[in-house]
Amino acid sequence: MTLAASFLGGARDRLLPASIPFRFFVAATLFHILAWTMLLAGAGELPEFAGGPGLILAALHLLTIGVLVIAAMGASYQLLPVAARHPLSRSWPAKLSFWLITPGTAVLAIGMVDASTGMLYVGGAGVSIGLLIFAGLTADNLWRASAMPIVAAHGWAALAALLGFLGLGLSLLADFDVGFLADRQIIATMHMILAAFGFMGLLVFGFSHILIPMFVLSRTLPVRIGWLEFFLAACAVLMTIFGLLYGNYLLVIMAALIGLAASASYFWLMRCALATRMRKRLGLSFILIYISWIMLAFSLLTGLAVSMELPIPNGSTLFGFLAIVGWLLTFLMGILQRIIPFLASMHAAGKNNVPPLLSELTTEGPLKVHAACHFVALVSCSAGIILNTPILVTMGAGLGTIGALAFSVFVGHVVLKLNPSR
Amino acid sequence: MIDIPGKYWRASDGIHIDVRGLSAPEPMVSILRVIEAHEAENTIQVHHFCDPIYLYPELTERGWSCEIIPGEPDEVRLVLTRDK
């Protein structure tokens, strides 16, 4: 056995089995294709979508739970224990959470298409229990993460938002059945804000403190601005929720402005990382990450305009699309194309038991197709929403589907390079 | 010598870097900075607080291997070696 072999043998024992994070990444990849396909099928309904069962609601949840949440779960299970320097004591709860949330998401989406309360309850239960297991495991990691207090603060706030959007989501499901909510639209908006900005948004901000410096090889980020960003972001989410709850739209407008300030702090932090980076060529993944940051700013400006009742055609739908697809999905795709080969290289053993080069695991062609299709899909769907033109949404969703298929070729290529025994 | 986070010195057995006490990802960044700043060095010793699993793909990419050797009780001692 070579020196590298004995060394890496010890290192690998500290990693979760590759099958755990990769099952989440593969599921997210498949849900990504399904989400765009569902949007394609319901393209005509998107511009004036205002909630309620149907193809768009199903596509939205395939994207949010199926892609964003499931990928975040896989990444968290692998990254947080390493960053917190405390390995997961048991791997079965992570596996159980996968086997609950993955079929749960599919059943929930079918229930949303058919407006079937039975399917909604079954799917909702699977998703909820899966998310609660994830919350428990993440809380256990965060409890031990004293070395990274800013990341942990984002994580705790994201978990609080998770409990909030889960509770609201379950009450919306029950409302389909028994119709007890006085103002379903407000509850749905609060559910969306907590899920997109509270849970996923704070996870994105928090993980960026570790992942972006790690990818670009930079110094750690300024602590004071990091705390400022966290405080502003958490305040913006809380104020939006209270503003919606009490019908105080001045509070919502102020929350949008604070959200913009939080984003400005976040962009400042990211600029610090990029300014001190060792890695000069950041590649295609960072083009997607840059686009996602622009989309974050656009989504918040759109949200501000909507809360000020400025005349933006289908402004609420555009706000949701820019936040969920423009910001969160684009960011995730940029991160996944870095993290998947990176994790695979630590698990994949070559003939000499030495990890393969990252370049051997990455396939540039499918990623270029995905990036081009994804960008045009963003522009086309956004234009379709503003202009109330379903054909533009159809074109965008078609390209999004092609892009998602191309991304699956990339993920499949990496998975096939993994040692089957891991 | 270069300006990096962590302690960094030359001893009779080569360059040493101590990254204990740094928060992620600075240990990895410091080690890679030392590697890139000393192109003539073939061996570097690292004093780490843990087994730095995220460092390995970066080392492979740069043509380096490493081995854990016995060190002090509160450290993981690594010897990085440039591949021939």
Whether residue A87 has a cis bond before it, omega within 30° of 0: no
Q: Which of B28, B53, B78 sits opposite A214 (nearest CB)?
A: B28
Which range, of A6-20, A397-411, B18-32, B60-74, averages the lowest pLDDT?
A6-20
Contact between A39 and A56 (Cβ < 8 Å): yes
Tokens in use for A343? 């994790």
Contact between A133 and A93 (Cβ < 8 Å): yes
Fold of B7-82: Translation Initiation Factor IF3 (3.30.110)
Task: State whether residue B76 is helix, strand or coil.
Answer: strand
Beta bridge pairs of residue B7: B18
Whether residue B25 has a cis bond before it, omega within 30° of 0: yes
Interface test with A, best of B28, B32, B67 (most A CBs within 10 A): B67
DSSP state of B11: E
Task: State whether residue A211 is helix, strand or coil.
Answer: helix
Contacts of B55 in chain A (CB under 8 A): none
Contact between B78 and B34 (Cβ < 8 Å): no
Neighbour count for residue B19 (Cβ, 10 Å): 25
Query: Does A275 contact chain B (CB < 8 Å)?
Result: no
Cβ of A345 and B23 within 8 Å? no
State if pTM tops 0.80. yes
One pLDDT digit (tens) per residue for chain A, 422 residues? 333 434 344 444 457 788 899 999 999 999 999 999 999 999 999 988 888 889 999 999 999 999 999 999 999 998 888 777 677 778 899 999 999 999 999 999 999 998 899 999 999 999 999 999 999 999 988 888 877 899 999 999 999 999 999 999 999 999 988 888 888 999 999 999 999 999 999 999 999 998 999 889 888 899 999 999 999 999 999 999 999 999 999 999 999 999 999 999 999 999 999 998 888 888 899 999 999 999 999 999 999 999 999 999 999 999 999 999 999 999 999 999 999 988 888 777 554 556 777 777 888 899 999 999 999 999 999 999 999 999 999 999 999 999 999 999 999 999 988 765 55
Nearest chain B Cα distance for residue A9, angstroms: 10
